[in-house]
Amino acid sequence: MKRKYFTPEQAEKLLPMLQQKLSRLQAAKQAVELLEEIEIELEDEEQNYLYNLQLEKEYHRRQYLFYRELEALERQGCIIKDIEQGLVDFPCIFQGRDVFLCWRLGEEQLRYWHEIDNGYAERKPIVDLEGKDNMIRLNFSDEKLC
């Protein structure tokens, strides 16, 4: 799949939707993990089988819904780095090289970026990305943006 590139403005417009979807993904992941841990042993073998079959169906249904939602976000160009922490990267071009705009669930605005080879711990304020003379939006060519 061709990588989609974002300007800070484009990425920031997605934040309200991302807040909602990441919260749902976190809840879905917890539900899947809980279902995975349930072990029931009933004396009646038939009842035991039927009950455990229902649990298996629910586990797989929730897992499917979780991955469907995750893939929908990824199709939009978002890179989900960590669901529990709500870390999301947005590919961006700055001075002719790929970098990531970086956002975490709970942050009200998109304020950070990092090099592709770095992670959350090496985040820098977007003001560093913009530079003193040029704002970041001047460093994008229309051909690179999807």
| Predicted pLDDT at 67 | 94
Which parts of the chain have pLDDT scores under 50? 132-146
**Domains: count for the chain:** 1
Burial of 35 (0-12, 13-18, 19+ CB in 10 A): middle
84 CB-near residues (< 8 Å, 6+ apart): 26, 29
41 CB-near residues (< 8 Å, 6+ apart): 48
- What is the pTM (predicted TM-score) of this model? 0.77
| Predicted pLDDT at 21 | 93
